[in-house]
A = this chain, B = another copy of it.
Amino acid sequence: METVLHLISGDGDEQETTLNIARNLLDDESGSIDEVAVVAQAGGIEAVTADGEYGDRVRSLLDDGVSFKGCSNTLEAFGLEEADLVDGVETVPEGAVEVTRLQDEGYAYMRP
Contacts and interface: CB of A to CB of B under 8 A. Distances in A.
A21 B96 contact: yes
A38 interface: no
Q: How many copies does the complex hold?
A: 3
Given A3-B96, A93-B29, A93-B30, A10 B8 contact: no
A55 interface: no
Interface string A95-112: 011011101100011111
B10 A10 contact: no
Given A3-B96, A97-B30, A24 B73 contact: yes
Given A42-B112, A99-B110, A100-B110, 8 more contacts: A6-B111, A8-B112, A17-B43, A24-B94, A25-B94, A103-B108, A103-B109, A109-B109
6 contacts: A1-B100, A17-B43, A25-B97, A32-B101, A42-B112, A100-B108
